[in-house]
Structure 1
Amino acid sequence: MSLPEEDLTCPICCDIFSDPVLLACSHSFCRGCLKRCWDNGLRECPVCRKKASKSTAPSNLALKNVCEALLEVRRQNSVVVEDKTNCSQHGEKLKLFCLVDKQPICVVCQSSKLHKSHDCSPIEEATVDCKDELSLSLKSLQDKLDNLKRIHMTSADTFKYIKTQSLETQRLIKSQFKQLHQVLHAEESARIAAVKKEEEEKIAGMKDKIKEVSAEVLNLTEIISVIQEQIKEDDMVLLKNFQSTLERRKSVALGSDHMSGTLIDITKHLANLKYTVWENMLDQIDYTPVTLDPNTAHPCLILSEDLTSLHYSKQATCCPDNPERFHISAEVVGTASLGSGNHHWVVETGSNQDWLLGVASSSVPRNNEISARPENGFWTLCFRDGELRAMTSPPTSLTITKPPKQVKVQLDYNKGTVSFSDTADNTTIYTFTTTFKESLLPYFYTQSSHPLRIMPEKVLITMLRQ
């Protein structure tokens, strides 16, 4: 264990012991310090004043070794400090800082070929400048660290959300297939019932036919038996009964042997069965030309399970802060990327009094608040505060007798037109004309709890004949 430095200090010179001696009273002093005190004639301990023997005080070897070790450590430390402040090549003080090589140098180094043409500054100024630069670097690194921590947290939340998305999507798929299974099961049951019904009808017909033929067979058998008996009778009896016997024979009508149509019409039940069932299912299945992309929906927008309607909720949902999502206002876009050709869809606005509909460029910012204007990549119709406006620059107020309950959006990408019409009377509300430079997405905005709904369309089947 090392002793505290105060225990290694001489009480007389207040410095580290030099050749320490030990008195009988257990106090230690430097040999030289004690000699100077005793030169006055009094041989006593300078601390406790106890009389000392007249013999020479013995050396305190243990204390001497400890003190010498402490002095050696001090000496080595002073050499290290001196080495740090002196030039290792020239031994001169490091008084300058080379701004090119970014290292401290001495005045001899500055005159050398290595640094002669380099700009230098005094160590004191360089220290301040370097500390400032390191402080900026530290702040930048701290910002990066904070950003990485935020990304890490967002990634963890996204990981959990992906699991939730997967389970919910699987549930919805199973739900929709269950509905399809129910439709198919109902169709199967109806067709099997039709086969059984026809079977019952055909069997009933055949039973009637068999019964009729059996009766005719019995009647004919009886007549044959009578004729056979008449042939065996006397001639006179045969002749007397001949007329009645002939009449009885003529009353026999042979049954029809026509059996056409008695079998089950298999073709009626099996011909193009899969196609016919699929065609019938179309009457019970909705098709919407546009579906909403939930990964782009603002957290305050609630989408329906089939992704065809949206409404606003003050209670934001828990969803990740992914780059595709609108973060500022209650917006969402469709999944279909519209890059050429003609497209249309109908949106039911109903009781919603605060909405924007139309198209937006696929590159519109999702984390900045910008106006829905053509110069920003939006071509939309807006209804708010009872006023209908085309969102031109500035907005154009439109005169209407009553708000449209259903709005048809028509895009002709190649001609550069976006038209809005009221489906009630098929009148055009407004048409934008421009030149599109990138793909577009169906666009929706609302801050109303009343839903906007994309209307389903009737599917027509066209047969291609070779």
Structure 2
Amino acid sequence: MSLPEEDLTCPICCDIFTDPVLLSCSHSFCRSCLKRYWETGLRECPVCRKRASKASPATNLALRNVCEALLMARRSSVLVEEKMNCNLHGEKLKLFCLVDKQPICVVCQSSKLHKSHDCSPIEEAVLDCKDELASSLKNLQDKADSLKRIHMTSADMIEYIKSQSLETQKLIKRQFKQLHQALYQDELARIEAVKKEEEDKIAGMKDKIKELSAEVLFLTETISVIQEQLKEDDMVLLKNFKATQDREKSIALDSDNMSGLLIDVTKHLCNLKYKVWEKILDHIDYTPVTLDPNTAHPCLILSDDLTSLHYSKTHSCCPDNPERFHISAEVVGMDALGSGSHHWVVETGSNQDWLLGVASLSVPRNSEISARPENGFWTLCFRNGEFRAMTSPPTPLTITRAPKQVKVKLDYNKGTMSFFDPADDTLLYAFTHMFTETLLPYFYTQSSHPLRIMPEKVLVTMLRQG
């Protein structure tokens, strides 16, 4: 229970006690006041005149604590009063300027500075500001919790990055090994072709040499016959002339044609690198869409070449990064689709639960939303044996023969998103929408049977300069 203020007043200075001391007569005084009183020569109680001891009077601790508490309360009251008053006009702050976000007095409100500003009573402003600060506090706490979670998983993220790097390097080496093998096989085949031509050319040369040797021998013999005939008598020469002439005419001399005997070097080396590259294309698959593994839901399993996906009940050990779909089994392609025309074919096979199409780049990855155009999705759905275009509400489709493949075609500039059966190019459904945002190829499945993006044939076109 608090004491009346008069009980806390020094009888000498008539002010609140400062460092009070207690005399044996139970009266209390400020230490400094009592000292000045005693300096007059009378060492007695200023109230009851009782003689005081020569010893230094004891401090009245209880009274000192009460007085200090009272003085502190007074100072606090003054500070509060100062805070509640306007610094410019000294008036009580009763209003809150909604434009400048500060408390003002009624004089401030009528001044040029705040005359055109909306204001509200202090009591209402306090409630509104508290609500706003509470909302800000919640947002900051949510961000802090999110940062703490990220911080806690940072070590796991580093390990995952390392494993990603090792796995990617392994897959790169595997694909280059396949290319090296194809190049090596082509190199061996071309070298064998040169060696085979060498053998054929040498065998041909040996046959040519045999023919030449036979012809040289025949020519030598013929020359000898003619020389002998020239030595004979004239009548003998004339009698044998026709036979000798026929022998000479029978010599065809075709073996002296030595053209085409060398190796056709041009055939083996002409545009060799281009021809090898063109042949290598037969060993290469090109897919117009590649899946982005950093966006795949943990239950989706992607192939090594990132062209197929299927569902697994076992979650993969992947980090909770912002790009990843966290709620349902979704994944998007890494190729951003903007201006122009784009298409790809997806083999659905035995998969009985899928969605295919495109999704806006900004669709949320950590909340469950319907795959509808108003949410940034343009998709075709197959579930429970029924095809539906995912409009709002979904549109059931009557399809006589369920396609094993679906062609997805986007014409961004024309604003059409179409689905076809590539077997006979039958249109299954077409969305019409004026696209303004970047789109991504979109896939969803909860089936263990894979969805596979089909490869396309690479065509090489040579441009010749005129």
| Distance of 1:155 and 1:100 partners within structure 2 | 50
The answer as to 2:419 corresponding to 1:420 is yes
| Distance of 1:461 and 1:292 partners within structure 2 | 25
TM-score, reference length from structure 2: 0.71
CA contact (8 A) 2:359 2:439 kept: yes
1:389 corresponds in structure 2 to 388
> CA deviation digits over 1:254-309, x for unaligned, max 9?
34322222222122111111111111121221101001000000000000000000
2:120 corresponds in structure 1 to none
The answer as to 2:213 corresponding to 1:214 is yes
- Stretches of structure 1 that go unaligned for 5 or more consecutive residues are 1-70, 103-109, 120-131
> CA deviation digits over 1:294-344, x for unaligned, max 9?
000000000000000000000010001111100000000001111110000
2:156 corresponds in structure 1 to 157
- Stretches of structure 2 that go unaligned for 5 or more consecutive residues are 1-57, 95-129
> CA deviation digits over 1:217-236, x for unaligned, max 9?
12322333455456667888
1:376 deviates by 0.3
1:142 deviates by 7.5
For residue 359 of structure 1, give the secondary structure of its aligned residue in structure 2.
strand
- Judged with a 3 Å threshold, the aligned counterparts in structure 2 of structure 1 residues 452 and 258 are, in CA distance, closer, same or farther, namely same
CA contact (8 A) 1:349 1:451 kept: yes
1:301 corresponds in structure 2 to 300
Identity of aligned residues (%): 73
1:240 deviates by 7.6
1:405 deviates by 0.5
> CA deviation digits over 1:112-135, x for unaligned, max 9?
99998479xxxxxxxxxxxx99xx
- Judged with a 3 Å threshold, the aligned counterparts in structure 2 of structure 1 residues 193 and 81 are, in CA distance, closer, same or farther, namely farther
2:274 corresponds in structure 1 to 275
Larger Rg: 1
The answer as to 2:435 corresponding to 1:453 is no
Q: Which stretch has the larger CA shift, 348-357 or 150-159?
A: 150-159
The answer as to 2:80 corresponding to 1:98 is yes
Aligned pairs for 1:85-234 within 5 A:
86-87=71-72, 92=74, 98=80, 117=92, 146-228=145-227
2:368 corresponds in structure 1 to 369
CA contact (8 A) 1:312 1:449 kept: yes
For residue 450 of structure 1, give the secondary structure of its aligned residue in structure 2.
coil
- Judged with a 3 Å threshold, the aligned counterparts in structure 2 of structure 1 residues 113 and 301 are, in CA distance, closer, same or farther, namely closer
| Distance of 1:142 and 1:367 partners within structure 2 | 19
Amino acid at match of 1:385: N
CA contact (8 A) 1:342 1:412 kept: yes
CA contact (8 A) 1:100 1:118 kept: no
2:289 corresponds in structure 1 to 290
Amino acid at match of 2:302: L
CA contact (8 A) 2:325 2:365 kept: yes
1:158 deviates by 1.2
Alignment coverage as a number of residue pairs: 374
Amino acid at match of 2:435: F
Amino acid at match of 1:399: T
- Judged with a 3 Å threshold, the aligned counterparts in structure 2 of structure 1 residues 225 and 441 are, in CA distance, closer, same or farther, namely same
1:148 deviates by 3.6
Q: Which stretch has the larger CA shift, 193-202 or 429-438?
A: 193-202
Amino acid at match of 2:288: P
| Distance of 1:465 and 1:272 partners within structure 2 | 15
| Distance of 1:99 and 1:279 partners within structure 2 | 90
1:379 corresponds in structure 2 to 378
- Judged with a 3 Å threshold, the aligned counterparts in structure 2 of structure 1 residues 302 and 142 are, in CA distance, closer, same or farther, namely same
- Judged with a 3 Å threshold, the aligned counterparts in structure 2 of structure 1 residues 99 and 145 are, in CA distance, closer, same or farther, namely farther
For residue 255 of structure 2, give the secondary structure of its aligned residue in structure 1.
coil
| Distance of 1:247 and 1:357 partners within structure 2 | 89
For residue 378 of structure 2, give the secondary structure of its aligned residue in structure 1.
strand
| Distance of 2:237 and 2:76 partners within structure 1 | 163
2:335 corresponds in structure 1 to 336
Amino acid at match of 2:267: K
For residue 159 of structure 2, give the secondary structure of its aligned residue in structure 1.
helix
What's the Cα RMSD here?
3.7
> CA deviation digits over 1:182-226, x for unaligned, max 9?
111111111111111112111111111111101111232233345
| Distance of 1:461 and 1:303 partners within structure 2 | 30
Amino acid at match of 2:330: E
> CA deviation digits over 1:369-422, x for unaligned, max 9?
000000000000000000100000000000112321100001010111000011
1:315 corresponds in structure 2 to 314
| Distance of 1:264 and 1:85 partners within structure 2 | 118
| Distance of 2:374 and 2:332 partners within structure 1 | 18
| Distance of 1:175 and 1:387 partners within structure 2 | 41
CA contact (8 A) 1:213 1:255 kept: no
Amino acid at match of 1:192: I
1:452 deviates by 0.2
1:146 deviates by 4.5
| Distance of 2:153 and 2:462 partners within structure 1 | 51
1:98 deviates by 2.7
CA contact (8 A) 2:208 2:255 kept: no
1:147 deviates by 3.9
- Judged with a 3 Å threshold, the aligned counterparts in structure 2 of structure 1 residues 150 and 234 are, in CA distance, closer, same or farther, namely same
For residue 380 of structure 1, give the secondary structure of its aligned residue in structure 2.
strand
CA contact (8 A) 2:309 2:450 kept: yes
Q: Which stretch has the larger CA shift, 220-229 or 209-218?
A: 220-229
CA contact (8 A) 1:309 1:453 kept: yes
1:100 deviates by 7.9
| Distance of 1:274 and 1:97 partners within structure 2 | 89
